[in-house]
Structure 1
């Protein structure tokens, strides 16, 4: 089967990582099918892909399928050789419960895996998260994190991170119990930056947007960073390389950074465009007195969250661009698209 006749299903076609995966697939000649929860977003998706340099034409098909319902998934997976599954429900509002986060994430993974297995898909590449690896651990837990680590859920863990951990566990358990030959690989990215393609961008990109728009200082928070184009490249490597089957891969470029360091990269690289970026550190005691900032952050203050991508580099030949390039490319795209106010 040639690349030109190979169809790949990419779930969650409005997503930041998903769209860069589609760009990478289309650039290599694959045919792509992607899912959306509601109709009416095809023009947006195609426009974003054009912003990324690709006119998808008839090599892109967009279908309706919602992770909270069975309908549409069998048709979505039909005829596909591979599945890149990154879609995950993100509930919002004051009444959102743990079940609202966890149940759709777990059930959504299982729906996609069942459809893939029934359709004869060779391999699913699951977009998990660093949130399934490196949170909830004691402050003196060993660093850097690697793929043998799992987040510790018996501590202060945000619901998003809990949902990613439990849904990835459920995926691996499904493969072991009833995969019937379906292969699985998981990608666990840290904060994903790089070029935004449109106004519907990720939470990680918002970190850069907030700094550019004059956020009053930097929390003492540490994070790894990686370019979305390299995350997409890692997905494609994990999709086809025999060595990736049954494996997890952390995606991080170099070592983690403190937010103050990220702000300095912007100031040093962007000149006048970064005039509103503050490199001042907000003291922990100020954060603890501010209810709007405290939620989900107390356990992260001052904690080094370094991780390693040595496994992806060694097994798959992955070579991510420098973290600074990911930061700058993200900022430049926000200016280019007029998304910085």
Structure 2
């Protein structure tokens, strides 16, 4: 914790990770400013912050990643910036650039504003998508690995995260004028929601509970708790050794869709009566991918079981993630408690 209790900007404070960060920072004694895309979201952010009892230390400003307006006001007076906001579409965009350009330009817009208004450090939320979406012998990935943004086999989202992070590092190196950058690369973020809307990874749990996934593809991926990702951001924000580094965030265990379903069935009883029990074969995924663009990425990742190395976060920052099965169960419990699961 900073001895001077710096003011912190969190971009995207109404989002899944952003809302956890706002609450955690307020409870830790920081003055927090956060951005929302539209004034209509201000009330949501303030309601979530009120749960801490410290919402008098919260400012909410309107700023969009696609425009310069609002960013000077957002960054002014903040020594530290957590740039969490990033576009994540519910469906594949018609054009790759509809996702890539806002992600890249938005990151640069925030970094430029941070530099110009005296911020000391920016912590950027990137993704494992920028690290491990390429096949590698042994399937082990660490912070030295990069997804190839020119690989057209990857989705626009995967390419956008890679291109945006590359652009951020390039900006700080050539135009940062002393601004420090740290990047967090989480795998699939699960864990309890503080409120709606339902983001992508918890949306998988919601779909399983609602019976919307009668069978699941045989895909494997990393899982990490949203509370642990928030914790890692704050450690990276304050630790002197974090500047200039990427940090992978992962629980240390690889999950499949079917394993998630089995955890839900084992822990939630009747509430998990509709979760899938069948895993598609590789041939079924490939056949379905011919007509379903959403399955094309799945077809390309068949047989890939990633091993995500998080030694840097653990040794440099003292970070310790929690048990991922508990994370999955608490994701489901929060969805049910908030009334976000359709009967």
Q: d(CA) in 2 for partners of 1:164 and 1:180?
A: 24
- Name the SS for the 1:180 alignment partner: coil
Structure 2's unaligned 5+ residue stretches are none
Cα distance, 1:2–1:244 mapped onto 2, change above 3 Å:
closer
Q: d(CA) in 2 for partners of 1:70 and 1:183?
A: 21
- Whether the 8 Å CA contact 1:220–1:259 is kept in 2: the answer is yes
1:119 aligns with 2:117: yes
- Whether the 8 Å CA contact 1:221–1:258 is kept in 2: the answer is yes
Alignment of 1:88-107 (within 5 A): 88-90=86-88, 96-107=94-105
Partner of 2:175: 178
Alignment of 1:260-271 (within 5 A): 260-271=258-269
Give the alignment's TM-score, normalised by structure 2: 0.93
Q: Which runs of 4+ in 1 moved over 4 A?
A: 1-5, 91-95
Shift of 1:31: 0.8
Q: Could you tell me which of 130, 141, 146 is aligned with 1:145?
A: 141
- Say which is worse superposed, 292-301 or 254-263, in terms of deviation: 292-301
- Name the SS for the 1:112 alignment partner: helix
Shift of 1:186: 0.2
Partner of 1:12: 12
Shift of 1:319: 0.6
Alignment of 1:1-341 (within 5 A): 5-50=5-50, 53-90=51-88, 96-135=94-133, 137-138=134-135, 140-155=136-151, 156-214=153-211, 215-290=213-288, 291-292=291-292, 293-341=294-342
Q: Deviations over 1:135-166 (max 9, x none)?
A: 0x23x533221100000234311100100000
- Name the SS for the 1:61 alignment partner: strand
**Count of aligned positions:** 337
Shift of 1:289: 2.7
- Name the SS for the 1:97 alignment partner: coil
Shift of 1:2: 6.0
- Whether the 8 Å CA contact 1:46–1:56 is kept in 2: the answer is no
- Whether the 8 Å CA contact 1:225–1:256 is kept in 2: the answer is yes
CA RMSD in angstroms comes to: 1.8
Structure 1's unaligned 5+ residue stretches are none
Shift of 1:92: 6.5
Shift of 1:219: 1.1
Shift of 1:243: 1.0
Q: d(CA) in 1 for partners of 2:242 and 2:198?
A: 28
